[in-house]
Chain A
Amino acid sequence: MRSGLIESFVGRLVEPLVHRFPWITYIAPVVIILGLIAVAVLLIIYFERKVSAHIQSRLGPMHHGPHGIIQTFADALKLLHKEDLIPECADRALMIIAPFVVFIPAVMVYVVIPFGPGWIVRDLNIGVLYLCAVTAITTLGVLSGGWAGNNKWSLLGGLRAAAQVISYEIPMVLSMIVVVMLAGSMSMVKIVEAQNPVPFVLYPCGLVAFLTYFTSALAEVCRNPFDLPEAESELVAGYHTEYTGFRFAIFFMAEFANVMAVSMIAATLFFGGWLGPFGPSVLWFAAKTVLFIFVFMWIKWTLPRLRIDQLLRVAWLGLIPICLANIGLAVAVLALKAYIVAG
Chain B
Amino acid sequence: MSPLGRFWKHVRDALVTTAKGMRVTIHYFFRAPNTVQYPYERIDISPRWRGRHRQRVDENGIPLCIGCKSCARACPDGCIHIETSKNPNPPDKRRRLKIDVFTIDLARCMYCGLCVEACPVDCLVMVPDYEYCTYTLEEMVADWQTQLRPEPLSELELELLRKKEEQPAEAQAQTQ
Contact = CB atoms under 8 A, between A and B. Distances in A.
A, B bound: yes
Interface of A: 51, 53-59, 62, 211, 298-299, 301-303, 318, 321-322
B28 A55 contact: yes
A120 to B, nearest CB: 33
B28 A62 contact: no
A44 B11 CA distance: 31
A57 B31 contact: yes
Interface in B17-66: 18, 21-22, 24-26, 28-29, 31, 33-35, 37
B24 A302 contact: yes
B11 A318 contact: yes
B164 interface: no
B29 A54 contact: yes
B165 to A, nearest CB: 54
B173 to A, nearest CB: 56
A57 B35 contact: yes
Nearest to B27: A55
- For chain B, which range describes its interface: under 10, 10 to 19, 20 to 34, or 35 or more residues? 10 to 19
A298 B26 contact: yes
A303 B21 CA distance: 7
B162 interface: no
A43 B33 CA distance: 21
A46 to B, nearest CB: 16
Per DSSP, chain A at the interface is helix
Interface in B80-97: none
22 contacts: A53-B33, A54-B29, A55-B26, A55-B28, A57-B31, A57-B33, A57-B34, A57-B35, A58-B33, A58-B34, A59-B35, A59-B37, A298-B25, A298-B29, A301-B25, A302-B18, A302-B22, A302-B24, A302-B25, A303-B21, A318-B10, A321-B7
A299 B21 CA distance: 9
B162 to A, nearest CB: 51
Interface of B: 7, 10-11, 14-15, 18, 21-22, 24-26, 28-29, 31, 33-35, 37
Contacts of A55: 25-26, 28-29
Contact of A56 (B7, B11, B28): B28
Nearest to B10: A318
Contact of A54 (B7, B14, B24, B33): B33
B35 A299 contact: no
B29 A62 contact: no
B2 to A, nearest CB: 15
Contacts of A62: 37
Nearest to B30: A54
Question: Which 6 residue pairs of A and B lie closest in terms of their CB atoms, listed nearest first?
Answer: A302-B21, A59-B35, A57-B34, A302-B25, A55-B29, A302-B22
A211 B7 CA distance: 16
A55 B31 CA distance: 8
A211 to B, nearest CB: 8
Contacts of A59: 33, 35, 37
A298 B22 contact: yes
Contacts of A58: 33-35
Given A56-B28, A59-B37, A303-B18, 13 more contacts: A54-B28, A54-B29, A55-B25, A55-B29, A57-B31, A58-B33, A58-B34, A59-B35, A62-B37, A211-B15, A302-B25, A303-B21, A318-B11
Contacts of A318: 10-11, 14
Residue from A51, A59, A321 whose CB has the most chain B CB atoms within 10 Å: A59
Contacts of B11: 318, 322
